[in-house]
Structure 1
Amino acid sequence: MANTQQAAAKAKLEGKSRGKKQLEPDAKHPITVDEFPGRVRVAFNGHLIANTANAVRLQEADYPPVYYIPRHDCDWRLFTPSDHTSHCPYKGEASYFHLDVDGKRAKDAVWSYEEPNTAVSRIGGFVAFYPDRVDRIEAD
């Protein structure tokens, strides 16, 4: 199911970034992407929805770090594709997913860059979660 959702998100974003500004990280706006050496778990509405030892950590400028999780380490039965998209000049076009667990929805709680800009290509196809839309994100 994850591959089908990934293909649908990719098709939806195709062409959306044409003509949009693309920026490279630099000293004024640094971005690093590295392998996270620990485990990352994400829970929503009492369910573990992601659990991985293969996360990557993206650190962008002065923002808190964001953990990107491989799709195969997520419970895709709980994800519903959203029509929402966004554009980051440093990362590219993002597609979104809702989380639906036991009748509770977290709208646009998950995002993914299907074809990220070259500088952050490592996050391509991984997913990340808004901390304020899930119960918890544990990184240890």
Structure 2
Amino acid sequence: MARERLTPGPEHPITVEPAGGRVVVRAGDVVVADSESAQILREAKYPPVVYLPLADVNSSMLRDSASTTYCPFKGEANYFDLVVDGGVSEDAVWVYRDPYDAVSTIAGHVAFYPDRVQMQTEVAAAR
């Protein structure tokens, strides 16, 4: 069965832009990710979501999950469990491995549920 595939527009806008600074993600006192190449996805009335390049995430703390979800605007999301200091936060991180064209720049990037980690952003200084 074919899944519904929708294109962002005036009724459901989606934008993706560089975060413009450094983003550090921690689970407790442990740094999970540190990036100066993060992107912010803004979708309709949802809170903005920060996507970080997978290359800037400590991959030893990610464990593949069997969970998936589907968004008709972005595609299929796959999940990772976050494993830190022996503790596991199931499905705490997601990735769109093959996102739809409108959000193709988030390919190779992951997002964290904000209630599972602490995210600190530092805005780049104007030059």
Match 1:80 to one of 53, 60, 63: 63
Aligned counterpart, 2:109 = 126
Q: 1:63-78 residue pairs with structure 2 within 5 A?
A: 63-78=46-61
Amino acid paired to 2:76: E
- Secondary structure in 2 matching 1:39: strand
Q: TM-score, normalised by structure 1?
A: 0.84
Check conservation: 1:45, 1:104, Cα contact below 8 A. no
Alignment of 1:138 onto 2:125: no
When the two chains are superposed, the root-mean-square deviation of aligned CA atoms in Å is 0.9
Counterpart CA distance in 2 for 1:115 and 1:78 is 22
> Alignment identity in percent?
46
Higher-helix-fraction structure: 1
Please, which runs of 5 or more residues in structure 1 have no aligned partner?
1-17
Q: Post-superposition shift, 1:139?
A: 1.9
Residues paired across the two proteins, number: 122
Q: Which runs of 5+ in 2 are unaligned?
A: 123-127
- Residue from 39, 59, 73 that aligns with 1:90: 73
Residue equivalent to 2:14: 31
SS at match of 2:70: strand
After the TM superposition, list the runs of 4 or more consecutive aligned residues in structure 1 that deviate by more than 3 angstroms: none
Residue by residue over 1:59-98, the C-alpha shift from the partner in whole angstroms, topping out at 9 and shown as x without a partner, is: 0011111111001101001100000000000000000000
